Structure formats: C-alpha cells, structure tokens
Amino acid sequence: MKLYFKYLSILIKSQMQYSTSFILLSCGQFLVPFSVFAALYFLFERFGMLKEWDFYEVALCFSIMHMSFSISECCARGFDSFSSLVVRGEFDRVLVRPRSTFLQVLGSKFEFTRIGRLLQSVIVLSIAVLNLSVEWHVFKVLTIILMTVSGIFIFTGIFVLAATLCFWTIQGIEVANIFTDGGREMSQYPLNIYKKWVTRFFTFIIPFGCVNYLPLMYILDKKEGSSVLYMLSPLYGMLFIIPCIFVWRFGVKHYRSTGS
Amino acid sequence: MRAYVSIFRMRLLNGLQYRIAALAGVATQFFWGFILIMVYEAFYLNAGKAQPISMEQLVSYIWLQQAFLVFVILWYRDGEIFSLITGGNISYELCRPCTLYGFWYAKLIAQRLSGALLRCSPILLVAFILPQSYRMSFPPGPDAFILFVITLLLGLLVLVAISMFIYISVFITMSPAGSLLIFGVFGEFFAGKVIPVPLMPSWLKRIAYLLPFRLASDLPFRVYSGNISGNEALAGIVTQVAWLVVLVILGKIALDKVLKRVVVQGG
Amino acid sequence: MITVEGLYKTFKVSKRSPGLISAARSLFFREYIEIEALKDVSFKIDEGEIIGYIGPNGAGKSTTIKVMSGILLPDRGSCSIMNRTPWEERVEHVKNIGVVFGQRSQLWWDVPVIDSFELLRDIYKIPGIEYRKNIAMLTDTLDLGSFINNPVRQLSLGQRMRCEIAASLLHNPKILFLDEPTIGLDAVSKIAVRKFIKRINAEKKVTVILTTHDMNDIEALADRILLIGRGRILYDGDISGLRNRFGTNKTVTIDYDESSRKPQIEGTDLLSWSPERAVLFVDTQKTSVSRVITALTNQYELLDVTVENPPVDEIIAKLYKEYEI
C-alpha cells in the first residue's frame, strides 16, 4: 500500500511538469460528461419520465456511476493503457521486480485529469440529492458510498480483463470499450429500462445491476421486501474483481510461457 | 489527383490490415446502437404528443450515426499532422510540390472515407435484418436516397473543412489536446452526437441550425429517414455548399497566415 | 552460482501469407510455424565472472536472459541460480538480480533521477542505511552528482545509461544482466561504463552477464565468452581460445632500408607495399609467423617488425559464417 502511494506521488510530480495540458484535459473531462448530462436534462424536459424514473432519480444514478468510473479510471489507468506497456516490452521490467505484477501495473499510471469528471459527478450528485423527495438517513448515505466503491471495483475489474486480453492480442482491444465506456454509458440509466437479456447479462455476469438498479430501489423507497438485501447488493458487485484477478494471473502465466 | 488516389489506396490497405480491430470497432458500434435505441424506446413510452422525429426514423438515424461515426466525430486519429506541427517538422511538408491545404485535405478525406467504408457495410447490413423494433428502415423513396448520398458526400467535405481548423489552431495553441477539446465537445454536441438535433429544445435547435456542424451527419441522416423532406433537403444542400465555400476560403487564409508566422519565426 | 542444463524453448509464430484470400482464411484458421529459440542450452557460471554472451540477432540471447531472469518459462531443462529456479520463485529470485535493458528505461521520464531511485528503494524494500551507502557509492563512482536532480528527459544518453546502471544496482544484486549497455553511447561514456562494470565486479564480486554487439566491450570486459547461434551454445571459453581456434590469420608489418624488391613468400598475401614498408597477410594454416619472419630477414635489412592479431569483430564475423548462423 505504501508503494502504491509512492507511485502516486511520483506520477503527480510528472504530471505537474505539464500543467497547461493538465488543466485543459481536466476541463475536457468536466465538459464531456457535462454535455451528456445536459442532453439528459433536455430529454427529460421533452419526455418528462424515463419509464417510471424521473429526472432526479436518473441524475442520482448517473452521478454515482460517473463517480465510480472516474475514480477507477484515475487509479486503474495502468490497466486501461496496458497495451502500450506490452507493445513497448516494458512488461518484462515489471517481471524482474520483486513485487506483485498487479500492484506494479496498477501503479504504473494515474490519470489525474479525471478529477474534472469527478467534480462534475459530485455536482450532479448534490443536485440530485437536494431535489429528491426521499427521506435520508445514515443507511442510505452508506448505500451510496457502497455503490460508488462497488462501481470502482467493477470498472477496475473490466480494465483488468481488457488488459489481460493484451497478452494474446492487442488488435481487438477496442472491443473492451463495450464494457468500459459502454458499461458506463449504459449504467448511467437505471438498468430496468433495457430489455431483459441486457439487464440479466449486466446483473449476473457483469454485476452493474447490483450497483445501480437494486440499491437505487432501496434509496428511492421503491423496493419490495427486505431492504437489507437491496442495500447490500453492491457487495456482490465487489466480488467481481476476484475472478478478474485470477484471469489476470492466468494471463501473466501465459505471457511467461510464450513471451509474445 | 493521382497523389490523392494513391494516398487513399494506401489508407484503405492499411485499414484492412487491422481487420480484427475493424471487427472490434463494428461490434462496439453495434452495442452503442442497441443501448441508444433501448434508452430512446424507454423515453418514447411517455411521449404524449407527437415528437419531431418518430421512433422508427430515430432508429434509422441511430444506425446511420453508428455506421458513419467517422462523419460525426470531428477528430479522427491523425496524430501525424499534430506531431508535424508541434514537433517543428512542418518545413518538410512545405517542401512538397503541392499546397499544404490541399494535401492535408486529401489526406483527411481519404482517412475518413476508408474508415467509413470498412465499418459502414457490416453495420448497415446487419441493421437491416434485425428484429422489427431495431430494424433500420428503407428511405421513403429513391429521391430521398439520392439526396441522402449527395448530402452525405457534401457533408464529408464540410466536416473535413471544419476539422482543418483544428489543425490550424494547433499552430497557435501548440496544444492538440486543447484544440480537440473545444472543437470536440461543442462540435459534436451540435452535430447531434449526444442528443439528436430534432430532440433538442427549440432554442438549442436554432443555434445548431446556425452552425455548420450538423450538416455532415444530422442533415443526411434525417434526409434518409424521411424526417427532412425533398425541398428542405435541397435547401440543406445549398447551405452545405455555401458553408463549404466559406470554410475553405477562411481555412486557406488562416493557414497562410499561421504559416507566414512560422516562416518568420524561423520554423 | 548459475547452472543451466538442457534448456529448450519453442515459440509458435502465426504464419502470414500475402493476398486477400489467405488473409481472410487466417481469420479462422491460423497456421503456425514453430521456432526453436533454445535447443539444449547448458552452461555453468561461477561467482564473480564476467561473461560476454554473444550471437547474432535472433540467436536466442534474449530468450536465455529472459529465462534466467524468471520472465519466461522454458519448455524443458533446468536452471538453478543461487539455488533457486528463477521461474518458480520469481519474486525471491529477482531480489538477487539487476537487469539493464539498454534500449528501454526503468527511470521515470519526467521526474528527477533521485525520485526514481527512491521509488526503487520502496519496490525492493532496501533498508535505509544500505540505500544511503549505495547511493553515495554509485553517485561517486558513476559521477552522477551533477545531474541526479534533473529529470531524465533532460539527460544525455550517456548520463541516462549511467543512471540506469546505478538504478539496477541499488538493491545490491549478486548478478547483473546487461543487455547492450553501451548501445548508442559516445566513446567517453562507453569507457566510463566499462570501467564501472569492471570495478563493481572486482569490489562487490557481482557476477555480470553482458550481451552486446560491440566486440570492444567483450574484449575490455569479458573473461569468458558464450557464443550462441540458432539456439545452441557454440563456443564457451576465453577470447584467446577463440583467437587460437578461429583467428588463424595474422598481419605482419615490416619496415626496412630502401629496397625495390617486393616480398614473395609462400602462404602470405601482400596487403600493401612501398619502398620502405610492407604489410603481409599470413595464413597460419599454410605457414607459421616465425617462418615468414625468417624468410623476410634473409631478404631485407629489417628495421622494425610488428605482428598483429586480426580484430575480434572479424573473428566473430568469421565464426558466424562458419556456423552459418
């Protein structure tokens, strides 16, 4: 853990060497989701409701998913840009060091410009929370935190899976965008607006449903039955990272036996 | 002209080499298409009164947007020109026996066309045989289809003329990221990438109509889906041509100006 | 210290044939060619040796290095380095080795060198006292003091390489793998790097395994040469042995009192001639150097005689040719 912060500090120092581009990119990270949010607002202005969800409910979902995404993109960027590490042959360097490959790759890159996106989502979150007419208490706040953390785990897991793919091929890597950018874009709306097969896939295989739909039901008092299950469903989402780490290990093993 | 053809051929071959990447791109586009259609479907459930664009038209609109993505986005991976400008290697380009504007213009068109050719046919092919609610429909008539092709090609010319300004502005800002950002966020928003132009509130729509960004994607797509009828499409073509002329002239003047500055500075 | 026995490694490389049809076919059926990168590679290295590991590109050099540093798993064979099998106990093993890839950097591009060093300290968990001692020693001997606080991107190639070597020695490794450490360096930096390698080898008993294409490196540093070609070890011994075996030719230069006669001796070729000086190429398989000199003494009033070995580069080139590698 200490090493991870060491990586963090050295990368902050590097980033500070390019402060103008840092500010510009952070603004961009603010503006891009902002335009998406603006579009969301215009659509609600026109249609009023999205299935049974109103604007502030969707805004809550939107902000939590974007928060998770920006944090995991900031911290797990090393996996996101892993293909270039493999292409440059830098992964050998990781293997000749006496630390876990997972930690080293995780620490190899941070994308601080995601602070822009994070800021944007925090603003949206505050707007949503202030305007929602639900009763807030500690457990609901806890659930929001849990949702965000669980989202970070899921996105990171997807980044890890995509990175593992690089051990075999770096050509089709764009397909991973379906689950990273696509997953973000899709999960910014409550999952039940989609067709059954989509909802199922993104609940049981990649557990976005446990992060956005189920706990949202609890927070917005739409649930039926036991609230604890709804509240704790994000924990199931966190488990997603475990198979991802195993797959990563398998990938490293493959790399070491083929050296591609 | 021959130089242009050979650039185009090379780009296309290059693109074909990365066929797995192209396939992956197609798959990604499909996913986006499905998600967007489902989202709008959910929105349309509550559409009380008639909307400015019908769900069926919107489905075609979305698939066209996915198939011709390279006609919507303003920046289409060409780090080469950026590094030429910021790295100071621009002097090599100035030694070439053709005007810089024309040369870059040809290159950028070739890039986008080859990108579109690789991706559009598989996407459109499948979009036509999807189940009813996702299926792309045919244009209302042959005249609409012809108008679609014309507006699409003219739109490409307009789009490339706009994107030239990104490169020109890099001479001044020296930061590709910054220029891309401004052009990318605003341009793509007003091109209807984030929210289809017909679904914008009327005040925003008015702004979008004043700007050239929608001419490359929104106009041809709506002509195809029948959302824009014949006469309005013809008016659109006139607008496209007018913008094209203005943009190219302004672009040439601007490029000459910044190049002069580069020469004065000694490269 | 290092024992390698019977290493085998085969790579599968997908075959690509030109043409659109075969390109489409290869989407579904991939044909593979097997490349044998290592075939029965065995050797032993003792503590404190400097080994020059040479061979043409693609001979299996880097594969061997990767196996020895625990990056790659071999198909067959054993390797024991300080009583560990590198690929089985990777983490423990790599604590004992330092690796410099000449063409890649392990330093962070945008931050001062010293910051990179501190990060490495944490990665390798080097105790404080040891770290400070090593930094002082390395700064002193490699003369890093004047630029250790500069970001890496501002360093010259020679300065950067010195920092790379320092970085790989911070944790007191017992074995140092150097992959083309002098590539692209100017003459002064090359000599500085060589001197330093010699020195840490002598003082700290670090075993050095050096791959390079620069035969001057080998001549200046290596006690022993391992030559690999097509995945096999072809030669294992010192430079003079290599000379005896393959450097069968010598050049003899003579200065003499003016004479208009050109020397004609069996088994030699005249490389250049002037009224005061002649250079002869001697094929030692046909005649011996002493016989040539005797013959020359009979024909001329000799003022000076020089006998030279051919440059190592030529020997190696000849070697490669002989083994058809």
Confidence at C32, pLDDT banded by 50, 70, 90 = confident
**Mutation test of the interface with chain A: which of C84, C111, C164, choosing the one with the most A Cβ atoms within 10 A?**
C111
Query: Which chain A residues are closer than 8 Å to B24 by Cβ?
Result: 171-175
Span B204-222, mean pLDDT? 91
Please list, in sequence order, all residues whose beta carbon lies within 8 angstroms of the beta carbon of residue B7, skipping any fewer than 6 positions away: B106, B107, B110
Please list, in sequence order, all residues whose beta carbon lies within 8 angstroms of the beta carbon of residue B191, skipping any fewer than 6 positions away: B72, B74, B197, B213, B214, B216, B217, B218
Look at the alpha carbons of A192, B127, B21, B164 in this order and tell me if their dihedral is positive or negative: negative
Nearest residue in chain B measured CA to CA from A18: B175
pLDDT: which is higher, B201 or B172: B201
Kindly state the tokens that stand for B223: 């002509």
Span B204-221, mean pLDDT? 91
Distance from CA of B18 to the nearest CA of C (A): 11
Nearest residue in chain C measured CA to CA from A257: C73
Q: Tens digits of per-residue pLDDT, C4-28?
A: 999 998 887 766 555 555 555 555 5
Smallest Cβ distance to C66: which of A2, A14, A259? A259
Distance from CA of A89 to the nearest CA of B (A): 21
CA distance B205 to A116: 27
- pLDDT at residue B266, rounded to an integer: 43
Q: Tens digits of per-residue pLDDT, C294-321?
A: 888 888 888 888 888 777 777 777 777 7
Give the number of other Cβ atoms within 10 Å of residue A63's Cβ. 25
Averages of pLDDT over runs of 10 residues in chain A (260 residues) are 80 74 80 90 89 90 92 86 79 86 85 87 92 86 91 92 84 75 87 87 87 86 77 87 92 79
Least confident residue range of B90-104, C120-134, C201-215: B90-104
Q: Interface of chain B against chain C, CB under 8 Å?
A: 16, 19-20
pTM over 0.90: no
Nearest residue in chain A measured CA to CA from B45: A51
CA distance A257 to B109: 44
- In this complex, is the C-beta atom of C91 within 8 Å of any C-beta atom belonging to chain A? yes
Query: What strands, in cross-sheet order, belong to the sheet with C232-237?
Result: C97-101, C175-179, C207-211, C50-54, C224-229, C232-237
The answer to whether residues A157 and A67 touch, using CB atoms and an 8 Å cutoff, is no
Give the number of other Cβ atoms within 10 Å of residue B110's Cβ. 20
| B24–A193 CB contact, under 8 Å | no
Query: Which chain C residues are closer than 8 Å to A256 by Cβ?
Result: 71-73, 87
- In this complex, is the C-beta atom of C73 within 8 Å of any C-beta atom belonging to chain A? yes
| B38–A47 CB contact, under 8 Å | no
The answer to whether residues B136 and B57 touch, using CB atoms and an 8 Å cutoff, is no
User: How many residue contacts between B and C have a Cβ separation below 8 Å?
Assistant: 4
Give the number of other Cβ atoms within 10 Å of residue A223's Cβ. 16
Distance from CA of B260 to the nearest CA of C (A): 31
Q: How many domains does chain B have?
A: 1
Give the number of other Cβ atoms within 10 Å of residue C164's Cβ. 24
For residue A126, give the H/E element and its range.
helix A115-131
The rounded mean pLDDT for chain C is: 84
Domains, chain C, in order of start with CATH, read: 2-7+42-243 (3.40.50.300), 248-308 (3.30.70.250)
For residue B260, give its domain range: 2-265
Confidence at B265, pLDDT banded by 50, 70, 90 = very low
Confidence at B98, pLDDT banded by 50, 70, 90 = low
User: How many residue contacts between A and B have a Cβ separation below 8 Å?
Assistant: 97
The rounded mean pLDDT for chain B is: 82
| A174–B47 CB contact, under 8 Å | no
Kindly state the tokens that stand for C26: 């290869």
Q: Does the pLDDT of residue B172 top 80, yes or no?
A: no
Q: Does the pLDDT of residue B174 top 50, yes or no?
A: yes
Query: Which chain B residues are closer than 8 Å to C28 by Cβ?
Result: none
Distance from CA of A182 to the nearest CA of C (A): 26
Count of positions (residues) in chain B: 267
Q: What percent of chain B has pLDDT over 90?
A: 26
Query: Which chain C residues are closer than 8 Å to B20 by Cβ?
Result: 27
Span B175-195, mean pLDDT? 81
CA distance C245 to A82: 48
Q: Tens digits of per-residue pLDDT, B120-158?
A: 888 888 888 888 888 888 888 888 899 999 999 999 999
Tokens 């097969």 found at:
A197
For C238, phi then psi, to 5°, come to -90, 175
Please list, in sequence order, all residues whose beta carbon lies within 8 angstroms of the beta carbon of residue C298, skipping any fewer than 6 positions away: none
Which 3 state secondary structure label does DSSP give C180?
coil
Give the number of other Cβ atoms within 10 Å of residue C109's Cβ. 11
Smallest Cβ distance to C108: which of A14, A18, A96? A14
| A6–C122 CB contact, under 8 Å | yes
Q: Does the pLDDT of residue C236 top 60, yes or no?
A: yes
Q: What percent of chain C has pLDDT over 70?
A: 92
- In this complex, is the C-beta atom of B172 within 8 Å of any C-beta atom belonging to chain A? no
| B51–A51 CB contact, under 8 Å | no
Confidence at B86, pLDDT banded by 50, 70, 90 = low
Nearest residue in chain B measured CA to CA from C28: B20
Distance from CA of A92 to the nearest CA of C (A): 6
Q: Does the pLDDT of residue B267 top 50, yes or no?
A: no
Please list, in sequence order, all residues whose beta carbon lies within 8 angstroms of the beta carbon of residue C294, skipping any fewer than 6 positions away: none
Nearest one of C15, C87, C5, C35 to C231, comparing CA atoms: C35
Q: Tens digits of per-residue pLDDT, B24-54?
A: 788 888 888 988 999 998 888 877 777 888 8
The answer to whether residues B82 and B169 touch, using CB atoms and an 8 Å cutoff, is no
CA distance B234 to C134: 78
Distance from CA of C13 to the nearest CA of A (A): 9
Chains touching chain A at 3 or more Cβ pairs under 8 angstroms?
A: B, C
- pLDDT at residue C30, rounded to an integer: 61
